[in-house]
Amino acid sequence: MPTRLIESLATTAALAEVFSDESVLQAMLDFEAALARAEARVGIVPKQAADAITSAAQASQFDIPEISRGTYRAGTAAIPLVKALRERVKKRNSDAPAWVHWGATSQDVVDTALVLLLKRSLPILVRDLQRLDQALAGLSERHKDSVMLGRTLMQPAPPVTFGLKAAGWLGAQRRDGERLKSAFAEAMVVQFGGASGTLASLGERGLEVARALAEELALRYPEAPWHSHRDRLASVVCCCGVLTGSLGKMARDISLLMQNEAAEVAEPGGEGRGGSSTMPHKRNPIACALTLAAAERTPGLIASFLSAMVQEHERGVGSWQSEWPLIASVIQATGSAASSMAETAEGLSVDVARMRQNIQNTRGLIFAEKAMMLLAPKLGRDVAHELLERAARESITQQKHLSKVLAEMPEVASRVEPSVLEQLAIPEQYLGCAEAFRQALLRGNTLKKQEP
């Protein structure tokens, strides 16, 4: 299904299909068909009626605009859906319509349909996270020795390696991905409680039907219906928010490194990708832009969902009705970010020479900390600090390398050999534990394949 134009920057084709009108309708119909089969299994609904209901529960045969109009009037999609389903079932078996939706309530249909949509969404998210995982691990390994400027408060700082930076992105998305999978797994529960969440209409057979329904849908049956308890879904959207935030951090880093002033990395290009309508020379960070848009959009959506958790008694009024578009938007934003960053990592161009040149352009100022550690034991901390402040000012005003400025200072020259000062500007000699940290991040838990 084509993505709606207004949502074209907010989802992916795969997730747009999951949350398309026909897919949402089919999820609700799947609930109704599974309910009829479950009740037939325990002897409540005649098998012929269950067969007729299952046969009729095909979304392609329904008038979706009509159901949508009815939803606006009824306050829930379940009411016009059940009415339309009964009409279709009647054409197959005149006695079967009475058994449609037997013992269920509207929220049972809608909530379980949402869970089924989440179940379809997770493998899509995991697939892109696996792509990202593999690409970042490769980048980190290839660039374990590629030195670059560290940057703190947007200013040049002592060097790091691009391998460590990529490993940092990788570690975050692995942690977030595992939390996301756990939250999804906890949410994979059927909703079936009837009018007040007691299944009173089914008498002593309620639990038997509920468990059979869960089996039919390949979901778990929880301890009890959860009509006004939204904590499982809240965990899903919050984990999506954390993951999207981590992907946004990666996108922010890459987009800044793509600036012409840095020019250390570049997104993959291609036909229609990254150009400008007025400036042909530009190579814009489009995937980063999509990811950052998702990361900026999701916190507000999540806040709205959390606000809607405060629901009244056994069925919320207004808050429950707000959830569908919120959850759909959060899931699709997360998918957009994951897909965009996977594409970026897979085709990222890294300019190692430019990274080293940018280090050299600082004329050694980023090694002032290293110089301090060298001079403080010889001159005293306060004296060394005052000398380095003066040397840094002279390096900037005279456009001279810091090591040369220090070598010309009598206080320094009398205490430190010139060959030692020359070693100040070698970035590989001031990386500390960068490689140990990189390896530790890569040894972290990899995102396992999502089982069907």
Residue 326 has pLDDT above 80, yes or no: yes
One domain for residues 81 and 151 = no
Check whether residue 139 and residue 18 sit in a common domain: no
Say if residue 316's pLDDT is above 50: yes
Q: Tell me, yes or no, if 315 is annotated catalytic.
A: yes
Q: What is the average pLDDT across 317-323?
A: 93
- The reply to whether 269 and 345 lie within a common domain is yes
Residue 238's CB is within 10 A of a number of other CB atoms, namely 18
Give the mean model confidence (pLDDT) for residues 378-406: 93
Residue given tokens 């070698």 in the structure block: 426
Question: Taking 70 as the threshold, does the pLDDT of residue 282 lie above it?
Answer: no
Distance of CA 79 to the CA centre of its chain: 34
38 and 65 fall within a common domain: yes
Half-sphere CA count of 128, side-chain side, radius 13 A: 23
CB 406, CB 391: distance < 8 Å: yes
Of 98-112, 300-314, 356-370, 415-429, least confident by mean pLDDT is 415-429
Is residue 427 included in any domain, yes or no? no
- Whether 29 shows a pLDDT value over 90: the answer reads yes
Q: Which domain holds residue 412?
A: 362-416
Does 283 participate in catalysis according to the annotation? no
CB 158 within 8 A of CB 369: yes
Q: Give the whole-number percent of the chain exceeding pLDDT 70.
A: 95
CATH number at residue 86: 1.10.275.10
| Rounded distance between C-alpha atoms, residue 97 and residue 91, angstroms | 9
Residue 261 lies inside a defined structural domain of this protein: yes
The answer as to whether 136 is a domain residue is yes
In a domain, 402, yes or no: yes
Examine residue 197 and state whether it is found in any structural domain, yes or no. Answer: no
Indicate whether 96 pLDDT > 90. yes
First to last CA, the chain: 23
Q: Give me the DSSP letters along 367-431.
A: GHHHHHHHHHHHH-HHHHHHHHHHHHHHHHHHT--HHHHHHT-HHHHTTS-HHHHHGGG-GGGG-
- Main-chain dihedrals φ then ψ at residue 363, nearest 5 degrees: 55, 35
Long-range contacts of 75-80 (CB under 8 A, 24+ apart): 75/321, 76/106, 76/107, 76/110, 76/321, 77/24, 77/25, 77/28, 77/109, 77/110, 78/28, 78/105, 78/106, 78/107, 78/108, 78/109, 78/110, 79/106
Same domain (yes/no): 450, 410: no
Q: Give, in order, the Cα–Cα distances in Å from 343 to each of 12, 103, 255, 327.
A: 12, 47, 14, 24
221 occurs within a structural domain: no
Where helices occur in 188-316 by DSSP H, the ranges are 206-217, 231-257, 286-307
Asked whether residue 293 carries a pLDDT value surpassing 80, the answer given is yes
Same domain, 403 and 333: no
Mark out the alpha helices in 7-100 (DSSP H runs): 13-18, 21-41, 47-56, 64-74, 78-90
Give per-residue pLDDT as tens, 138-191. 999 999 999 999 999 999 999 999 999 999 999 999 999 999 999 999 999 999
Q: Does 342 share its domain with 268?
A: yes
Same domain, 208 and 261: no
Query: Does residue 423 form part of some domain?
Result: no
Name 157's bridge partners.
Answer: 150
Specify if 42 maps to a domain.
yes
* Sign of the alpha-carbon torsion through 167, 172, 178, 180: negative
CATH number at residue 399: 1.10.40.30
Q: Any idea which residue has 């599974």 for tokens?
A: 34
pLDDT of residue 420: 87
One domain for residues 246 and 284: yes
Q: Are residues 134 and 95 in the same domain?
A: no
The DSSP letter of residue 336 is: H
Identify the pLDDT of residue 276: 44
Q: In the numeric block, which tokens belong to residue 188?
A: 């994979």
Question: What mean pLDDT is predicted for residues 364-378?
Answer: 92
Q: By C-alpha distance, which of 414, 404, 397, 398 is closest to 367?
A: 404
Of the residues 182, 276, 307, 349, only one is catalytic, namely 276
* 119 and 206 belong to one structural domain: no
CB 112, CB 396: distance < 8 Å = no
pLDDT at 445: 56
- Check whether 280 has a pLDDT greater than 50: no
- Alpha carbons within 13 A on the beta-carbon side of 274: 17
Residues 267 and 140 in one domain: yes
Q: CA-based Rg of the chain, rounded to a whole angstrom?
A: 30
Active-site position among 151, 220, 315, 415? 315
Report phi then psi at 19, rounded to 5: -100, 20
Helix axes 286-307, 231-257, angle to 10 degrees: 150
Task: Tell me the average pLDDT of the chain.
Answer: 93
Query: What digits encode the pLDDT tens for the residues 246-277?
Result: 999 999 999 999 999 999 999 997 665 555 44
Picking from 428, 405, 400, 399, the residue whose alpha carbon sits closest to that of residue 418 is 405
Q: What is the CATH number of the domain that holds 325?
A: 1.20.200.10
Q: Are 244 and 295 in contact (CB under 8 A)?
A: yes
Pair of tokens at residue 184? 């999804």
What is residue 9's DSSP assignment? T
| Widest Cα–Cα separation across the chain | 105
Confidence of residue 319 (pLDDT cuts 50, 70, 90): very high
Does residue 402 surpass a pLDDT of 50? Answer: yes
Residues 209-249 have pLDDT tens digits of 999 999 999 999 999 999 999 999 999 999 999 999 999 99
Q: Give the residue carrying structure tokens 């079967």.
A: 96
Q: Of 328, 330, 324, which Cα lies nearest the Cα of 303?
A: 330
Residue 17: pLDDT above 60?
Answer: yes
pLDDT attached to residue 360? 95
What is the tally of structural domains in the chain?
3
**What pLDDT is recorded for position 277?**
43
The residue length of the chain stands at: 452
